[in-house]
Structures are given as structure tokens and as C-alpha cells.
Amino acid sequence: MIDSHCHLDRDPLFSNLDEILSRSKKTGIKKLLTISTNLISYNNILKIIKIDPMILGSIGIHPHEVKDYNINFDYIEKEYNNNEKIIGVGETGLDYYYENSTKNEQIESFKTHIEASIKCNCPLIVHSRDAEDDTFNILNDYANEKPKILMHCFTGSKKFADKLLDLGSYFSASGIITFKNSFELQEVFKNIPNEKILIETDSPFLAPVPMRGKKNEPSFIKYTLEHLAKIKKLDNNEMEKITTNNFNSLFFE
């Protein structure tokens, strides 16, 4: 298994990293992609990725953080090219649920990340909440340049998913698909082609059933995998192979 999106720089993960990695390996996880959300986060990630060969990282500014942290095209390109364990750009995107940053600030930052990912020819890790139209329209503006898009923790509508599939997007399923009230989301994932699906924890957030109420961690990804396998009517081993191959295809081919 591969956890395609976690935040190892956040506590309680960071302060218990040895135990977190041990449990991850016992669960059968082969790679962990720890995601940057701001420049402090990124500097911590540069240290974390040196701890174990299984840990990989990204560079980016979360839409909630763009008011306080600015990042430019040249910096992203330099950092990506100078470190082989930094394998993606993000997490970036649009989040209109909270008013942490203005729409214009988020959009400009999003475009910077998109353009950098295209120049680097690497995956773009996209966060989208209450912003389906703007997210799609901005990504679609770059369609001719064929960005490698990963919709992280996807909770969008079927219409949104269908439009993103036309752009070649991948979609990451989080613990949210295990929640009792996630019927619509489960239907969306049922209709996404198997070759476009990854799994993630987004830990320490969004612990899946039956671990809800606890701080999430990468080893809990097995519950998301099992639930996704049921949704797709596949056995767990087959689902594991599919999501692992998809991660490797997206990030290493």
C-alpha cells in the first residue's frame, strides 16, 4: 500500500515518528508521501524525508496559507529539481469554505503551482472545497499543456469528477469514503475508472471508520483500502495492486 497524502510534520505524527513508521511498515505500507502546506512545513519535510527511504515529499502552499506565505515559480522549480525525494507540487488549489485568504490570492497561487508543475513535468496535488467551477475552469485553461493532476481527498460531485477525467485527472480516496453518510461520494468513486484511483489518509486528520475519534495515521489506510475494495467489488489484494500501480505510474513514469 501507498499513502499518497499525509502530514508527517504535524503532531502527533511528528513527535512519534518512529512508532508511526513502524506501524506503517507492519501494515504493509511501502511509501508515504508527506505533503507541504506552507514554507515552515516544507522545511520540516526536507528533514523528514531523510529519516527513512519510504518517505517522499512535496512542495507547495495550501490555499488556507496563501495569505501568509508566498511562493514563486522559480523557487518551486529549483526545490523540485534539487531533491529527488520531492516528487510533487502542492498541496495547492482552492478552498472557499473558510475565508482564510481571498479568492484572488488563492487563484494566483494556484496558477503559480500549476505552471511550475507543468514546467517540472510532475504531479500537481490539488485541494478543492466549495470551489468546483473555479477549480475546473482554471485547470481546463491549462489542458493543452496536459498537467498531471491528482485530486487529493476527493469529495466532489460526479459532474465534477467526469469533467476532471476529461483532463486525465487521478483521484485519491480518503477515510471519508468509510463514513456512514458518504453514500453519494461512494457512488462517485464507484464510477471513477480503477486506473485513476489512489488512496490516502490525510493524517493526522479524517480517521476512517472504525478509528473515528482518534488521530489518524498512515497505518489506518488499510480501512480505506478495504472499503474502497467493497465499493469497487474487488478483493483487497487487487485493490492494493491497482492503487499502488496508479501511484507509481503518476509519480514515477
159: CATH:
3.20.20.140
Q: How confident is the model at residue 133 (pLDDT cuts 50, 70, 90)?
A: very high
What single-letter amino acid sits at 6? C
Region of 93 (left: φ > 0; alpha: ψ -120 to 50; beta: rest) is left
In a domain, 211, yes or no: no
On whether residue 227 sits in a domain, the answer given is no
Give buried/exposed letters for 136-156 (b at 16+ CB in 10 A, else e): bebbeebeeeebbbbbbbbbb
Average pLDDT rounded to a whole number, residues 242-248: 98
Percentage of residues in the chain with pLDDT exceeding 90? 94
- Residue written as cell 485553461? 141
- What are 51-89's pLDDT values in tens digits? 999 999 999 999 999 998 889 999 999 999 999 999 999
Q: Does residue 212 lie within any of the structural domains?
A: no
> Which triple of cell numbers denotes residue 133?
467551477
Q: Is 28 within the bounds of a domain?
A: yes
pLDDT in tens, 26-44: 999 999 999 999 999 999 9
**161, three cell numbers:** 469528477
Contact, 5 vs 152, CB < 8 A? yes
Each residue of 218-237: pLDDT tens digit? Answer: 999 999 999 999 999 999 99
- Domain total in the chain: 1
Q: Return the bridge partners of 151, or none.
A: 126, 171
What range does the domain containing 74 cover? Answer: 2-204+217-222+233-252
Lowest mean pLDDT among 66-75, 104-113, 129-138, 185-194: 66-75
In a domain, 109, yes or no: yes
The verdict on residue 228 lying in a domain is no
The Cβ of residue 64 has, within 10 Å, a number of other Cβ atoms equal to 20
Kindly state whether residue 86 falls inside one of the protein's structural domains.
yes
- Give the pLDDT of residue 101: 77
pLDDT category at 98 given cuts 50, 70, 90 is confident
